[in-house]
Structure 1
Amino acid sequence: MRSLFKFYQDTILYSVIFSIIISMVTGVLWGIISLIVIGPGIGTIIHSFLRSEELYFYYNLGYTKFSLVIKLYLLNLFLSLPILALYFYILSFIPE
């Protein structure tokens, strides 16, 4: 389990950078949605290009690339939904 958090830490930086760029172009809501939906995929692709030799480490631990990506999406969804809820909570206090 510790290795999954290490993989998450390695890929979340790329996901957050991508989502910040998206939120500057389209808005905060789309930045958060891209962090949840597209971010793990982008993070995994960039991680594969920059640190492809680390995937052998995870494979030796019994994780395939597909299982890493699925677990990354689930963990990212679990951790990002409170951010989305906080966004809508703060938005509810802003008068229209």
Structure 2
Amino acid sequence: MDRTFLKFYADSTRYNLAFSVLCFVVVSPLAGLVSLPTFGLAVGLLCYRKFHGHQYYFYYNLGITKRRLIAKSVAVNLAIALPGLLVLLIMYLNE
């Protein structure tokens, strides 16, 4: 992965993880893992836009579009969350 993408991903995921951990603790572990690639990602991107929105120009000047950054973030979050979801699903089905 690109170093510039990792910078964007680290900045936006900070808010996503905070929201997902809150869902994990308050609602359920399943809700926390489901929110990581879905609603938590949207919360993370909204917070990134609010607090770091001016940095999109930096990525655009490097030839990286906002759409590409978001698509890569979705792909990484899905790759992280799917194994956890499968483990939780197997655990719940065996109970």
Asked if Structure 1 and Structure 2 have the same fold, meaning a TM-score greater than 0.5 normalized by the shorter chain, the answer is yes
Q: Distance in 1 between the 2:13 and 2:86 partners?
A: 19
How many pairs align?
A: 94
Q: Deviations over 1:21-58 (max 9, x none)?
A: 22233211011100121222211110110011211111
Instruction: Specify the alignment match of 2:13 in structure 1.
Output: 12
Q: Distance in 2 between the 1:64 and 1:38 partners?
A: 22
Which segments of 5 or more consecutive residues in structure 1 lack a partner in the other structure? none
Q: Write the mapping of 1:70-85 to structure 2, written as runs, cut at 5 A.
A: 70-85=71-86
User: Is contact 1:14–1:42 with CA below 8 Å preserved after alignment?
Assistant: yes
Identity of aligned residues (%): 34
Does 1:65 find its partner at 2:75? Answer: no
Greater Cα shift, 38-47 or 78-87:
78-87
Q: Distance in 1 between the 2:62 and 2:35 partners?
A: 30
Indicate the SS of the match to 1:51. Answer: helix
Q: Distance in 1 between the 2:6 and 2:83 partners?
A: 18
1:85 counterpart letter in structure 2: L
Q: Write the mapping of 1:13-92 to structure 2, written as runs, cut at 5 A.
A: 13-88=14-89, 91=91
User: Is contact 1:40–1:69 with CA below 8 Å preserved after alignment?
Assistant: no
* TM-score (normalizing by structure 1): 0.82
RMSD: 2.0
1:52 counterpart letter in structure 2: G
Which segments of 5 or more consecutive residues in structure 2 lack a partner in the other structure? none
Moved over 4 A (4+): none
